Structures are given as structure tokens and as C-alpha cells.
Chains A and B, each alone.
Chain A
Amino acid sequence: MILRRAWLYVSRNWKRSLILILILTVLLSALAVVFPTWRASMQAQEDLETSLGESFCVNWGISQLTHPHLYESYPSEDGRLTLYRYIGEDYMTQEVLDAILAIDGVVDYTYTQYWWLYFPDLTLKEGLYNTYYLDTPEDDPDYHWHMAGRNTTTVRSANNSAQHEFFDRGSIELVQGRHVQADDVNCVVISRELAELNGLSIGDTITGYTLQLQLNGVGTVDDRWDEYSLEIVGLFDVLGAVDTVMHGTEESIIENQMFCDVTTMAHIQARIDEKFNTPTPEDMISSEILFYVDDPAKLPDILEQVRAIDIVDMSVFDIGFSNPSYTASIQPLRAMRGVMTVLCASLVAAVLLILRFVMKIWFQGRKKEIAILMSLGVGRKKILGQLMLEMLLIVSIAFIGASIVALAAADGVGNYLYSLTSNDDSINDEQYEQATNIWGENYDPYDPFIEIADFSPEEISVEISAGDLLLCFVSGTAATLLVTLSCCLSIVKKKPRQILSSL
């Protein structure tokens, strides 16, 4: 009898039913599209992590400015400068490094450092010092600095230069020879352009010097400190565009920069520390270390384990993905995920509110019928059962419509939402800045602005599975029945006479 009455109501009041079916079709379609779109954005992010997130960075994120209580000040040798020495206990030691390397999935590491070497015999690609500052008078306080700048460039080190961030992000590419390896000594990779400018080739040796000038700004280009003879083992080409407007000095031009072995750099750094009276703890390895993993999918778990190391306070380190392309490419997907999360929550709330509103009107018109049925001795449970069955019939019809709409529109709607969160200029300024400043610094004048490859997907693939439709049906039905119940309970709880006299 319940089914018969339910069917009679739905079929005889087909105009009202049709309105409700249309409303539910729209709501269910939205539900059916939003959840798979949310999942698609998650999947795209996961794919990106898997393809690009093959390394992570542990960066000692404190300084005298951020943690002054962990530093003590002391004057420089000549008394002109105030220097700061770290007196805390939390930094990267061999023990911490070993603990990270012991985590399953961490397969290698490198730490990158840089210093500036003066190459008197090299002609560098022209920057500000060889153009704009050519006429600096000798009595100018910056004269010697400008003189040094004409032949000074940045030398970077890595255990394996192939793992250096610039190569890793695809900004530069080895085109001849080999990369500098961990066991190399006095080896260097330079740009092909620099090599051609100086008639150099693989196997040739170039000689650079550390200058006191670069430590404290005192002296001339003749106040040399240590000499480094470096054998060229490889040549690289620059693939990305270089911003030479903001970073036009010679040492910041990527074609002038070099990649040397860690042994050479360790010697340079040791000598600097010596001059600085060892301003950092002796057993501190590096402030920036890049770790490589065998499977990018393990990265989230590995990062958790790194953060959980209790040898030192790991909160002093910034720990995260290191690939700037990843950082840049993930932005639209993260934005998308954020939008979808808000959209999902809003949609669920909206569905419940709209249903509640519609059902309230719907059942106001059913009061008399409910009272009649009650006066005829039909039990409350049977009346509720009939009303719910009517809704089930309507939801079922709406679900068929919603499935067709969702299957047809999901990919388009999902990608439209994705397009709203991504930028046509694949990497905008903000992303660009974030991407280049992977160590958490706001500005690094020696980190050349090289265009970063954008790996963010052009579109996401929104696929609706049978499971999605089932979930949509179940959640839509549950929401509808729940709202039906809440609207009807207040009616059927009354005595029939109360209902009839209120009409």
C-alpha cells in the first residue's frame, strides 16, 4: 500500500515532481562533478610530486636576525665590523646527516655552497662592472671593488654537479664533458659561452683567487689570498632566459658562473671560517643540504620521518620539496585543491539548505493528506515510509538525469575550474619568486633568475567512475531522506486534529 500511494502521488502530481526532479538533478549533478574534480586535482598533484619531487631540502632556517639570542657578537680583526657567532646547539651535524641518510628511500645527498673567485686571466661575459662602472675614478671608495668585479664570478659546488639545483630544474644543461663528481679535486664545469669567449676547452686549467676584498671590502685585487687551479671537465649551456636587468653584475650572470668540486669548496670555506675566527660551529656540515630519494611517492612519508628526528631540534630546519619547477608547477593545482575543498564544503551545505527549503514547502502542502491518513489509522512509520519512498523514487529519477549530465559535463566543468586557478603565463611573478627562493630567502642576488620549466598540466582529467556515481546517489539520497525526515517529523508528531485544525 505504501508503494502504491507513493507512486500515485509522484505520478499524479507530475508537475510538482518534475520540479523537484529538476532541482535534485542539478544538485546531484553538481555533487557528481565536484567530487571527481577534487579527486582529479589531487591526482594531478600526486602525479606532479611523483614526476618532479625526487628530492627534498633541509635548510638551516635561522639567522642572527631571526634568533638573536642564539648568537653572540664579536668584532672583526680590523675592528671595522661586528660579526656574529652561533652559540646554539641545533644545526646540521654528521650525526643528523647520517640519521637522514638512514631513512628508507633516501639514497643520496648534496650540499651546495658558493663563493666568489677572482680570475684575472679570464674575460667574463660583460656585466655592469665591464660596462657601466668602467669609468669609476680611482679615488672612489668603490674603485677596487669595481676593479675586482670585472673578473670575479660565482663558483658553486655540489657533490655531483648534475644534482645541482640549476641542472636539476632544467635551467642549464651539460653539453660537453662530464659533471663534477664527489671525489673530484680542483675540477670545474663552466659555460660553453665562457669557454668560447676565452678559447678554452675541456682539459684546460683556469686559475682563480680568493680576495680579502670579498671578505671585508678592504684591499685591492692584488691582496690575493689563496690560488685555485681548476681543470675544466665539462661545459654547459643555458637553456632558460636570463634576466640581466636586475642582476647585471658579472658574478650574477649565469654564463660566467662555474661548478666546482666539494673538496675545493670545502677548502675555500675552511679558509673563510679561519679568517672569520670560525663563526659557525666546527662540526656544522652545511646550512643547506639536498637529499635524493629513490621513489618520489615516498617523499611525504620521508619528510615526516626527517621532521621526527630527535638528535637536534629539527624545527630549526625548513624541510620541503626542493625542485623549483615543482614548487612553481604545483601552485595552480594547490589553488585548485583549495577551491575544490571550499566548493565541496559549500556545495554540501548548499544542497542541504536548498533541500531543506524545498522540502519544507513540499511537505507544507502535504499536511492535510498526512492528517487524513493518520485519521484513517495509518501509522506514523508507514506515513514516513510513504513520504520517504516518494523521495526515493524522485531521487532515483533525478540521479539518472544527473548521471547523464555529470558524465557529459565533468571534464569541461573540472577544467573550467582548473583554468580559473591557473594563469595563462604559466608561471606568474609570485610563483617565479617562490620558485627561485627555495631556501626561504626573499632575495638572493647571486641566484640568477633563470626561467623555470613549468610542468603543471595543461588540463586535468576528470573521470567519473561507477563508484563516484554510487557515492553521489547514496549521499544525495541520504541527504534527501534526512531532510525529508526532519521536515516530516514535526508534522507527524502532532495529533491529527491539531494538523486538521491548523489548515
Chain B
Amino acid sequence: MIEVRNVSYEYIKNSPVLDDISMTFERGKTYAIFGPSGCGKTTLLSLLGALDAPTSGAVLFDGKDIAQIGDENHRKDNVAFIFQNYNLIEYMTAAENVSLTEKIDPLPYLLQVGLTEDEAKRPVLKLSGGQQQRVAIARALASDAPVILADEPTGNLDEDTAAEITKLLCDVAHENNKCVIIVSHSAAVAEAVDQVVRLSHGKLQEEV
């Protein structure tokens, strides 16, 4: 489905954050990428989502190099992001954020992630952190992308809400046959996902 092949990434020359890593992420499964701060988790997520380009190696989607697909096309059609700080457009309502790039009815997606009709009409800044993250998830769902990349989606949330969001992401992966890759420090997330990937010293170590 989505694959990193011999990918390296350097901020400083000859000091790779990611060092010749390879791995394939499959549809219908949830992944958690763990590792200490600065180990390159978010960088890996950015490369998978074409927010950045690898120093060497390639990211493939369905066997095709995303450099050939095109960054914009890849981001538009293949992946959806959920950020730790939600990255919602602040002057818009929840519904408007969900239908930001597509002419769709946002309400079913918002209802799917547990928000009410009333909450859907509210400006996002008038929603709680958990509600805002739900909006971000709804936006990811609405994009119909087969891969959802979540960068510490529960980092700013309390334990209960974090558990709800994690469950929601796992359900999305299983019910909608999507590949959900979550960067996290949370043990709860590690327990909830199908596969945990540990990133250390620029290398990947898969754990089941």
C-alpha cells in the first residue's frame, strides 16, 4: 500500500535522522510509531505524506513513487493528516473545516466522529481540544484518502478523550479499510494499534 524504500533523511549532512529504512504499511491496519523525541518519527510521517522529500530513497504508494505521482496529488488523493495541534482553520466552523477542500456534506463525517449537529455549526475555536481533534479526524475521513497519518493526535488530550480518539482511529481503519499510521508516545495507543514500529537511531524495528 504505502511503502518507504531505503529512505534516508538528513537535516545535517552525514547525520541522518532516518538511515536507509524500508517498510510497508498496509490497508485496514493501524500502526503506531514509537521512539524518543528527535528520533525522526514526525519526519517519517512527513515523508509518507509528501510534506517533505527524502534525502535518498523513495516513498511508494501502491508501488508507484510519489515523486512521480506528484506531492500535491499524493496529499490530495492518497493521504490525510491529523496533527497534534489539530491544524484547523480557526475562522471556520467545524463543518466548514471538514468541507474545506471538497464539495461534500460534512455532517455525516462529524456525526461519525461523535460530534453533534450543533457542534458542527460552531466555530472551531469554540470547541474543546477533543472536539477539535474529532473535527480533524472527520476532515481526514471526508478526504476519502486510504492512508491517515496522525502525528501525536492525543498529545494534547486528557486520558479519557485520548482513549476515545485512539479507538476512533482504529475503528476508522478497520471499518473503512484504511491504513492509519499514528506517531505517539502513549502506551495506550501502542496497545490499541495492530502493529507498533519503534524508531531508534534512524532505524526501524517492527514489533507486533
A104 to chain B, nearest CB (A): 66
State whether B101 touches A1 (Cβ < 8 A): yes
A275 at the interface (CB under 8 A from B): no
Inside 8 A of B53's CB, which chain A residues have their CB?
A: 495
Taking CB as reference atom, which chain A residue is nearest B89? A369
A376 surroundings in chain B (CB, below 8 A)? 75-76, 80-81, 100-101, 139, 143
**A window 1-28: CB within 8 A of B:** 1, 5, 8-9, 12-13
Q: Provide the residues of chain A in CB contact with B88, threshold 8 Å.
A: 372
Question: By the criterion CB–CB under 8 Å, are A12 and B91 in contact?
Answer: yes
Q: Does B77 contact A377, Cβ atoms closer than 8 Å? A: yes
Q: A12-B91, A12-B92, A369-B89 are in contact. Are A377 and B51 (CB under 8 A)?
A: no
Chain A neighbourhood of B146, CB < 8 A:
none
Q: Is the CB of B91 within 8 A of A378?
A: no
Q: Mark A485-503, 1 if CB is under 8 A from B, else 0.
A: 0000000000111101000
In whole angstroms, how far apart are the Cα atoms of A376 and B101 in the complex? 8
Q: How far is the CA of A452 from the CA of B11 in the complex (A)?
A: 81
The answer to whether B24 has its CB under 8 Å from any CB of chain A is: no
Known: A5-B100, A376-B76. A496 touches B51 (CB 8 A): yes
CB within 8 Å for A377 and B92 given contacts A1-B101, A1-B103, A495-B53? no
Say yes or no: B72 contacts A380, CB within 8 Å. yes
B-chain residues with CB within 8 Å of residue A440 when the two chains form the complex: none
Contact A372 B75 (CB under 8 A): no
User: What A residues does B91 contact at CB under 8 A?
Assistant: 8-9, 12-13
State A380–B70 Cα separation when bound (angstroms): 12
Evaluate contact between B87 and A368: CB separation under 8 angstroms: yes
The digit string for B142-158, where 1 denotes a CB below 8 A from any CB of A, is 01000000000000000
Decide if B49 touches A375 in the complex (CB within 8 Å): yes
Chain B residue, CB-CB nearest to A9: B91
B52 CB-CB contact with A under 8 Å? yes
Contacts of B72 in A (CB 8 A): 374, 377-380
CB 8 Å contact bits of B82-95 with A (1 = contact, 0 = none) = 00000111011000
Task: Let me know if B46 is at the binding interface, CB within 8 A.
Answer: yes
Count of chain B residues with Cβ under 8 Å from any Cβ of A?
25
Contact with B along A361-377 (1 / 0, CB 8 A): 00000001101111111
Say whether B46 contacts A497, CB under 8 Å: yes
Residues from chain A with Cβ under 8 Å of B143 in the complex = 376-377
Pick the residue among B75, B87, B96 that contacts A377 (CB under 8 A): B75
Q: Identify B52's interface contact among A13, A369, A378, A495, CB under 8 A.
A: A495
- Interface presence of B176 (CB below 8 A): no
| Complex: A379 Cα to B49 Cα, angstroms | 15
Kindly supply a per-residue 1/0 record for chain A positions 209-246, scoring 1 wherever the CB is within 8 Å of any chain B CB and 0 otherwise.
00000000000000000000000000000000000000
Nearest CB in chain A to that of B52: its residue: A497
A378 to B77, CA, bound (A): 10
Name A411-456 residues within 8 Å CB distance of B: none
Bound-state CA distance A499–B139 (Å) is 21
Instruction: Decide: B87 and A378 in contact? CB cutoff 8 A.
Output: no
Chain B residues contacting A368 (CB-CB under 8 Å) are 87
Contact residues, B86-120 vs A (CB, 8 A): 87-89, 91-92, 96, 100-103
A369 to B73, CA, bound (A): 19
Which residues of chain B are within 8 angstroms of A380 by Cβ–Cβ distance? 72
Considering the chains assembled together, what is the distance between the CA atoms of A9 and B53 in angstroms? 31
Q: What's the Cα separation between A253 and B168 when bound, in Å?
A: 109
Of chain B, the residue at the smallest CB distance from A375 is B81
Contact across chains for B89 and A374 when beta carbons are under 8 A apart: no
Q: Which of A1, A13, A497 contacts B51 (CB 8 A)?
A: A497
Task: Let me know if B96 and A375 touch, CB within 8 A.
Answer: no
The residue from B73, B77, B87, B92 contacting A375, defined by CB atoms under 8 A apart: B87
**Docked CA distance A373–B76 (Å):** 10
Contacts of B74 in A (CB 8 A): 377
| A495-B81 contact, Cβ under 8 Å, with A1-B103, A379-B72 | no
Task: State in angstroms the CA–CA spacing of A497 and B46 once bound together.
Answer: 7
Contact B96 A8, beta carbon cutoff 8 Å: yes
Residues of B with C-beta under 8 A to A8: 91-92, 96
Q: Which residues of A contact B73 (CB under 8 A)?
A: 377
For A16, give the chain B residue with the smallest CB separation.
B91
> Quick one: which of A327-373 are within 8 Å of B by CB?
368-369, 371-373
Q: How far is the CB of A418 from chain B (nearest CB, A)?
A: 47
Q: Are A372 and B46 in contact (CB under 8 A)?
A: no
Please name all residues of chain A whose beta carbon is closer than 8 Å to the beta carbon of B80 when the two chains form the complex. 376
What is the chain A residue whose CB lies nearest that of B47?
Answer: A497
**Does A378 lie within 8 Å of B51, measured CB to CB?**
no
A379 to B74, CA, bound (A): 11
Residues of chain A with a CB closer than 8 A to B87's CB: 368, 371-372, 375, 500
Which of A1, A12, A376 has the most chain B CB atoms inside 10 A of its CB?
A: A376
- Chain A positions within 8 Å of B89 at CB level: 369, 372
Q: Which of A372, A377, A497 makes the CB contact (< 8 A) with B76?
A: A377
Closest residue of chain A to B78 (Cβ to Cβ) is A377
| Bound CA span A5–B101, Å | 9
The reply to whether A374 and B52 contact each other, CB–CB distance below 8 Å, is: no
Complex contacts, B46 vs chain A, CB 8 Å: 497
Query: Separation in Å of the A361 CB from the closest CB of chain B?
Result: 17
For the complex, give the distance between the alpha carbons of A5 and B89 in Å: 10
Complex Cα spacing A345 to B73, Å: 45
A residues lining the B interface (CB < 8 Å):
1, 5, 8-9, 12-13, 368-369, 371-380, 495-498, 500
- Having A12-B92, A372-B87, A373-B101, one finds 11 other A-B pairs with CB under 8 Å, namely A369-B89, A374-B72, A375-B49, A376-B75, A376-B81, A376-B139, A376-B143, A380-B72, A495-B51, A496-B75, A497-B46
The 21 sampled A-B contact pairs (Cβ below 8 Å) are A1-B102, A12-B92, A13-B91, A372-B87, A372-B89, A374-B75, A375-B49, A375-B51, A376-B75, A376-B81, A376-B100, A376-B139, A377-B73, A377-B74, A377-B76, A495-B52, A495-B53, A496-B51, A497-B46, A497-B51, A498-B52
CB-CB nearest 10 A-B residue pairs: A377-B76, A377-B75, A12-B91, A497-B51, A497-B52, A496-B51, A497-B46, A379-B72, A372-B87, A375-B81
